[in-house]
Amino acid sequence: MNIIDVLIEQSPALIIAIPLLGAFLMPLVSRINSTVRNIFGLLVLCLTGFFVGILASDVLANGPRLYIFGAKDLAVPMVRILFEVDSMSIFMALITMVLAFITLIYSWSFMKDHDGLDKYYTLVLLLITSTLGMELTGDIFNFFVFLEISCIASCALIAFWISEGEALEAAFKYIVVSAIGALFVLFAIGLLYAQYNALNIATLANVLKYTFLDKIILVLLLVVLGMKAGLVPMHMWLPDSYGRAPPSVTLIIMGATLASFYGVLRVIFTLYGNVLSTTMRFSIPLNVLVGWILITLAIISIIVGVAMALVQSDFMRLIGFSAVAEVGYMFLAIGAGIAALGTPYATTALQGGILHLLNDALDIGLLFLVAGAVYYITKKRSLDDISGLARNMKYTTVFFVIGLLAVVGMPPLNGFASKFLIYESVYQLNPILSIVAILCSILMLAVFVKVFYAVFMGPELPAFKNVTEAPRSMLLAMGVVAALMIFIGLFPNLVIDALVKPAADALLNHAQYIGTVVGGV
């Protein structure tokens, strides 16, 4: 076996271990020099990215890969922690790595003048570790551990600008909501263990019978993970924390939010995959009920998200509300895919939802980067105070226009590709859903055109006569994200065939996921 195969075998553990080690070494390295610290962070992320890349090429070609902590082979009883990486997990890991790289490059100039940067980079690497762990793990208690790590690291990062009282308040609300949610998840895991005496997702999925306690567990997991992903009406922590955290941090917290969304997918499609067709009272199968619950909450999310975003006057809080609306689009597609499981348009809806995951991470990420650049130059948060920046900040304006067109879903950018798939599959379930989705897309356009006018156009106020362009590493980060968005928009087929179709198939094919663990015994 050559060296690449050995590395691929060990890569699931290394993907978690390398950023974790980097996080713990970061305070020591920071004592030397700030440039050495920046280079060290980049090296850690490059190494992790390399391992994610080779693991992705293996998983997309050969199917799910298993890594057992502490033993060479599977043995009954399954007490080891297992990492099971299938195409959906590695898709999420790729998104997380892209967000991580962009955050790091952006932070170099954005956070340059702050104190306590060693703690900042430590926490960022810890948050990246926990997000990757949530996505790669195959053990539900391990998922809870990584969820807790991400809660604590996010809370500390949201409160990073301690000198502003609102950041502390946002972090406090975040930790209250997340800690209560995590406790309920622990309760659900305890119920699972008490019933089935196993913690491994594949083993549990194999033996799950739909008892009354299982119904409780499903509701607990769905509601908590939906709350962490930003589903209305439990979304209110999201604009608070996204609006007050440093924008480079918001990107990684968005990665954690998307990992909670991935948790919802894992619970419904894999953990409860075998029992999704059980019929309940009034002969409604479980998947129709769960799907319609998610669709209802998603439609309310989209409407409330854009309606509240239309009246905000704080830049980053506005983008936070539109992030709630975009999460609503994702849940709409997934809910339609679950409710119509088995029909061809359900697969299209699932593919649209998964592509929208990637697009949303990039679009909202670019908008937050631009908001950060504007804050860095003008030190103002409210849209009423800024004006006329397009005269001096030309590149930032162009990137904002690209982000605006993409988040609204205008052709030919990437937002249109995923919204196209969503509209043209969801209407087959019920036409009203597609209508609300199209309408809220236009409302999103109104929101961001208002921001475009307020920040970039308008008269030249004397306070902003001499603003300069944003620093170069920030422009580089924005440029990379914009280039990715244009590429996905112009060649949607390439991305869908290479990444999204295998991920959707891996979700629908829960027998393969279970068989990798249980069949191998």
Scan residues 175-234 and list those touching other proteins (CB under 8 A). Answer: 176-177, 180-181, 184, 212, 215-216, 218-220, 222-223, 227, 233-234
Residue 188 identity:
A
- Minimum CB–partner distance for residue 473 and other proteins (Å): 25
Element (H, E) at 372: helix 344-378
Q: In this chain, which of 293, 467, 476, 480 binds other proteins, going by CB under 8 A? A: 293
Residue number with CB closer to other proteins (9 or 505): 505
List Cβ neighbours of 209 (8 Å cut-off, separation of 6 or more).
Answer: 275
Query: Which of 445, 467, 480, 508 touches other proteins by CB under 8 A?
Result: 445
* CA–CA distance, 161 with 272 (Å, rounded to integer): 42
Candidate list 369, 421, 504, 514; residue touching other proteins; CB under 8 A: 421
Pick the closer one to other proteins by CB: 196 or 420: 420
Residue choice 438, 483, 498, 521 for contact with other proteins (CB under 8 A): 438
**Buried b vs exposed e over 34-54: b needs ≥16 C-beta within 10 Å?**
eeebbebbeebbeebbbbbee
Asked if 160 and 245 touch (Cβ cutoff 8 Å), the reply is: yes
Helix (H, G, I), strand (E, B) or coil at 382: strand
Which residue in 439, 483, 498, 521 binds other proteins (CB under 8 A)? 439
Q: Choose, by CB under 8 A, the member of 13, 21, 307, 467 that binds other proteins.
A: 307
Q: Is 489 in the site for other proteins (CB under 8 A)?
A: yes
Q: Which residue, 81 or 362, has its beta carbon nearer to other proteins? A: 362
Point out which span in 41-49, 74-82, 269-277, 282-290 binds other proteins (CB under 8 A).
Answer: 282-290
Q: Is 230 left (phi over 0), alpha (psi -120 to 50) or beta?
A: left
> If DSSP codes are grouped into helix, strand and coil, which group holds residue 499?
helix
Residue span 368-397 as binding mask against other proteins, x where in contact by CB under 8 A, dash where not? ---------------xx--xx-xx--x---
Smaller CB distance to other proteins: residue 274 or 392?
392
Residue type at 47? L
Q: Angle at CA 494, nearest 5°, toward 488 and 497?
A: 120
In 247-338, the DSSP E strands lie at: none
Cβ neighbours around 359 below 10 Å, total: 30
Within 10 angstroms of residue 466's Cβ, the number of other Cβ atoms is 7
Region from 33-41, 246-254, 332-340, 434-442 binding other proteins, contact rule CB under 8 A: 434-442
Which residue matches tokens 């703690």?
119
* Minimum gap (Å) between residue 237 Cβ and other proteins: 6
Q: Kindly tell me the burial class for residue 489, based on how many C-beta atoms sit within 10 Å of its own C-beta (0-12, 13-18, 19 or more).
A: buried
Under the binding rule (CB under 8 A), the answer on residue 342 touching other proteins is no
User: At which residue do the structure tokens 């762990």 appear?
Assistant: 133
Return the number of the residue (108 or 144) whose C-beta is nearest other proteins: 144
Which one, 16 or 220, has the nearer CB to other proteins? Answer: 220
Rank residues 71 and 439 by Cβ distance to other proteins and give the closer one: 439
> Footprint of other proteins on residues 400-419 (CB under 8 A)?
409-412, 416-417
- Is the Cβ–Cβ distance between 248 and 317 less than 8 Å? no
Interface positions, 96-155, toward other proteins (CB under 8 A):
none
Output the six-digit token pair for 497: 């065939």
Q: Are 185 and 263 in contact (CB under 8 A)?
A: no
The distance of closest approach from Cβ of residue 46 to other proteins in the complex, given in angstroms and rounded to an integer, is 32
- Alpha-carbon gap, residue 280 to 185, rounded angstroms: 25
Residues 11-50 that bind other proteins (CB under 8 A): none
Q: CA-CA distance, 31 to 244, in Å (whole number)? A: 28
Q: In the bound complex, what is the minimum distance in angstroms from residue 157's beta carbon to other proteins?
A: 19
**In the complex, minimum distance from the CB of residue 482 to other proteins, in angstroms, rounded to a whole number:** 16
Give yes or no for residue 431 binding other proteins (CB under 8 A): yes
**Residue 13 contacts residue 132 (beta carbons within 8 Å):** no
Helix pair 165-196, 237-244: axis angle to 10 deg: 130
C-beta of 41 vs 388, nearer to other proteins: 388
Which residues from 72-101 bind other proteins, rule CB under 8 A? none
Report d(CA 280, CA 273) in Å as an integer: 16
**Taking the complex as a whole, how short is the minimal distance between the CB of residue 447 and other proteins, in angstroms?**
9
| Region binding other proteins by CB under 8 A among candidate stretches 26-34, 64-72, 134-142, 344-352 | 344-352
Which of 52, 123, 330, 454 touches other proteins by CB under 8 A? 454
Count of positions (residues) in the chain:
521
Q: Of 313, 342, 519, 521, which lies in the binding site for other proteins, with binding defined by CB under 8 A? A: 313
CA atoms of 332 and 349, how far apart (whole Å): 9
Among 39, 75, 435, 498, binds other proteins (CB under 8 A): 435
